[in-house]
Structures are given as C-alpha cells and as structure tokens.
Amino acid sequence: MNLTEIKKSLERQFDRELTQGSVRNIVFWYDEDGVFADSVDTLTLDNVKIIKLYDNNMFAVKLYIEETDTGSNLLVYSPMPRPANRENWLTDTIKYSQTFSTDETSNNLINLKIDNALRSVVEKYNMFFRREERSRRFVGYGLAPYTEPKIDLGVLSVLCKLPAPNLDNVVRVLLSEMAHGESKVYDEIGKFGNLDAFWTLVSKFYGYNFEEQSLEKLAILLLVSHFSHGINGKMPNDWQIYVSDNPNCYVFADNFMKNSQLWEDYNALADYVSDKLRLSDRTEKWTIDEVADCDTFEEFDKSVISRITTNITQNAGEYEHYCKVLNIETLTMLDMARRDILPAAVSYQNLLAQTCINKQNAKPGSEFFAAAEEKLLTKLSELTARLSESIDALEKASEESHGFTDNLGRAKFIRETVFEKMAELRRYADEIETLTGRAYWPLPSSTEAVLGR
C-alpha cells in the first residue's frame, strides 16, 4: 500500500460509528519494519492527531491518551513491532481501541468488521475488495455475522450485479451468459472471486458431483432433474447421471421457467441443453401420454404437434385420444383457477386493503406510511383482473375447439389459440403466486411439490 491508499483506509476507519460509550476513535498502527517512518510526517487526517510511539515513551503516550487529551481522535504510529502484552504499557488501551495494518488482508478484516478467524477466506478476495464500489455493495448486503459461505456468496452476487445475495440468481446469470455464447461474468469470478468457492456452493446446494467444473454439465443437471419430475416414461440410460435428487434443482428450473421477465434467457438455456442432449432425435421414442406433462423443453411441444398433424393425415386414433387428454387438462386448469386461485388472490387483496386503511387511519396525511402495501395491492389487482380475463378467454377457446368438423382445422386452432390461452392463464397465476402470502395460497409451492408436503 502507498501513503495515499493508507490515508483513504485510515479515513474510513476513523469515519466508523463510535461504539457504545465511546467519545472518540483511537487507532494503533504498528509499522513493524518502519516502512513509513519518514513519510508518516506528511500524513494528514481531518480531525485526527498523530502521535509517535517508541520503545522509550510508552508510559508518556499512555499518560497523554488517558489523562492529557481525552477527547481527540488519535492515530498512534509506531515504527516497530508490537510488544508482547506483558511488556506493553498500552495493552489495556489497545483493547478498547482499533488497530491498523498495511497488510491488505488485515486491513480488509478491519474495514469490513470481519472476525480474524475468517482471515484465510478474506485473503482470497483481496483483489475483489480493492475496488471501493465492490466493497460498498458487499457491505450493503448486510451479511454480518459473517461465515465463509456468506462471504463467498456475497462476492459472487456482487460480481453478478445482483440486488441481493442469492445463489439461484448467480447460477442463472452464469448459465444465461453461457447459453448466449459469452463468459464475461464467469471470467471476472475467476479473476476477482474464487471459482473453487463457487463450485463448492453448487455442489452443496444442487448436488453437483462431477469432478469437472463445467457450466454445461451444471445446466444439463438442473434441467434434466426438472425433466425427470414430468416424464411418465423411462429416462434414457445416459441421462441418469444428470438426475439429482436434490429438490433445489427442480425449484431452480421451475422458478426460472415461470418468470415471465426471464423467458428469453430460459428458452436460450433450454435450447442449449436440448442441443447438447440431441433431444430432437429422441422425442419420438416417447408416447404423447409419457411426455404430456413435460414442460422443461419446447422440443416436446413441437413433437406432440408434429405427431398430431401426422395422425390427422393418417386418421390415426391417437389424435382423438390426445384431444380428450387436452380437454381434461383445460377443464382442470379452469376449475383450479376459478375455485382456488382467483378467490385466494381476492382474499389476500382484501387483507392488504384493510391494512392500508388501518395504517392511513393510524397516521393520516403520511404519503409513505402504507406505500409498500398500496403498491403491492395495485399490482395484484391488475394481475387478478388479467387472470379473470384469461380464464374467460380460455373457456371460450375451449368451447370453440369443439365446433370444428375437420380434424386439421381443430388441430391448428388448438395449437394457435388454446395452447396460447393456457400459457397466458398459467403466466398470470404464477406471477400472482409470487406476490401472495403463503398462508393464503391454496396450492403447494414448487418446493412443497417436490418435497411432497
């Protein structure tokens, strides 16, 4: 560190909030090799007095701190190693003061208020903490009290530019980048973060046990694990190694797929994995019934539509069977939406509305007192109205599909209209679920569905 960097670091240390009962900040700096013994005289800090400490004036310095000047902020600089406690007149004073070191790791521990027991963890991120903006965002996550996994995740989340630390979102950013043929963020993690730490978290959280640190294999693991919950037939033998029994895999893929703001990224990733698995060459091996519930990959929708078209031209019986299956699925969706989802959304909005009224009555004229509830209520009201409209639209489309006399016309209508209305209804329901209190939601969440509770 040069003197300019030391000045900035000391200023941050003296700007810290005073501990309870303190009236000033006292910082001890033991410069063991006396590197800055000559240049420290040029150091100036606002509202801070600098005292020099030698082996022959310890008692005088102690007297000055505890008797002569009891109100000023003090930097006590010593161009020698810190003496053993039993030989140091200032041991008691140091205990209620702060210490400063030009060692980068020590400095980071002090500035970030991280326990020295995590020194080895912080040390691997020294390059990361050299940029003030990264350090500020890391601290802003509020991860204290710190642990090694918290620090690792915090660094990863900053490098991924996330508003809050979240491993699912870190993985989503990296896999989306890979699917689009890029690796900028992953490379930055290798430079400023720690790739081993990332893969340790991935192994623990998703059950990734491959020896190779491969984003491609991670993407396949996550989506194939999700796919395994929807297929009613046999999984290919060469896919079995990618099936994890860790429920976090299913939750990750399901949440990613259902987030309307991330559809483009999810579709890019699903296409990438589909290509790696050569899925287009395999879909015909399953019957329609076996893949009817598979929504992980678009290839299955394409395959089903293709087979329906073929069956129409060949007058095969599978077409009528599939139409019956689709009709049952449509009616089930309509029933759940009308009897469960819509009433739950309205009930939760009634609670929010009453909360807004109570808060406004408690503090009349306050613009922001119930702002969060009002914003959530407005969003839910809009989505619920859209949900109600989509229910009516799907019901109308379902009825119209029965009016066709030719199979080809009916198949096209189902593909272009009924499928679209079902997806639209599901999209609004999924978004409402993310905003509705868990106690009010009538259906199992993704995690609950996987865990069976």
Q: Are residues 255 and 370 in the same domain?
A: no
Q: Are residues 343 and 424 in the same domain?
A: yes
User: Per residue in 38-77, pLDDT tens?
Assistant: 889 999 999 999 999 999 999 999 999 999 999 999 999 9
Q: Are residues 92 and 23 in the same domain?
A: yes
Is residue 323 in some structural domain?
yes
Q: Are residues 277 and 327 in the same domain?
A: no
Structure tokens at 64: 């000055």
Collect all residues with Cβ–Cβ distance below 8 Å to 122 and sequence separation of at least 6.
105, 108, 109, 112, 114, 129, 151
Q: Give the per-residue pLDDT at 453.
A: 38
- State whether residue 233 is helix, strand or coil: coil
Which residue from 179, 13, 195, 203 is spatially nearest to 109, judged by alpha carbons?
A: 13
Q: Give the per-residue pLDDT at 444.
A: 61
Is residue 168 in some structural domain?
yes
Question: Alpha-carbon distance 80 to 77, whole Å?
Answer: 9
Is residue 138 in some structural domain?
no
Is residue 418 in some structural domain?
yes
Is residue 290 in some structural domain?
no
- Identify the segments of the chain with pLDDT beneath 70: 1, 304-305, 307-322, 365-369, 407-408, 443-453
Q: Give the per-residue pLDDT at 106.
A: 81
Q: Are residues 249 and 323 in the same domain?
A: no
Tell whether pTM > 0.85.
no
User: Per residue in 206-216, pLDDT tens?
Assistant: 999 999 999 99
Collect all residues with Cβ–Cβ distance below 8 Å to 242 and sequence separation of at least 6.
217, 220, 221, 224, 225
Residue 41 CB neighbours (<10 A): 11
Instruction: Say if residues 220 and 273 touch (Cβ distance below 8 Å).
Output: yes
Q: Are residues 337 and 273 in the same domain?
A: no
Q: Give the per-residue pLDDT at 277.
A: 92
Chain centroid to CA 385 = 30
Q: Give the per-residue pLDDT at 47.
A: 94
Q: Are residues 336 and 437 in the same domain?
A: yes
- What are 212-216's contacts with CB under 8 Å, separation 24+? 215/174, 215/175, 215/178, 215/186, 216/178, 216/276
Q: Are residues 273 and 344 in the same domain?
A: no
Which residue from 248, 231, 309 is spatially nearest to 240, judged by alpha carbons?
A: 231
Is residue 304 in some structural domain?
no
Structure tokens at 94: 């140091």
Q: Which of 86, 102, 118 is the last residue of a domain?
A: 102
Q: Are residues 257 and 162 in the same domain?
A: yes
How many domains are there within the chain? 3
Structure tokens at 251: 């939750």
- Phi first, then psi: give them for residue 11, nearest 5 degrees: -60, -40
Q: Are residues 277 and 321 in the same domain?
A: no
Which value, to the nearest 10 degrees, does the dihedral of the CA atoms of residues 361, 365, 371, 374 take?
60
- State whether residue 237 is helix, strand or coil: helix
The residue ranges of DSSP E strands in 19-117, in sequence order, are: 26-30, 48-52, 73-78, 98-100
Is residue 64 in some structural domain?
yes
Beta-sheet strand order (sheet of 48-52): 48-52, 73-78, 26-30, 98-100
Q: Which of 67, 102, 137 is the last residue of a domain?
A: 102
Angle between helices 148-159 and 167-179 (to 10 degrees): 40
Domain of 395, CATH number, reads 1.20.120.1560
Q: Which of 264, 282, 300 is the last residue of a domain?
A: 282
Is residue 444 in some structural domain?
yes
Q: Are residues 255 and 353 in the same domain?
A: no
Q: Are residues 216 and 157 in the same domain?
A: yes
Instruction: Provide the domain limits for residue 20.
Output: 3-102
Task: For tokens 């409402």, name the residue.
Answer: 432
Q: Give the per-residue pLDDT at 448.
A: 44
DSSP bridge pairs for 74:
26, 49
Question: Alpha-carbon distance 79 to 54, whole Å?
Answer: 7
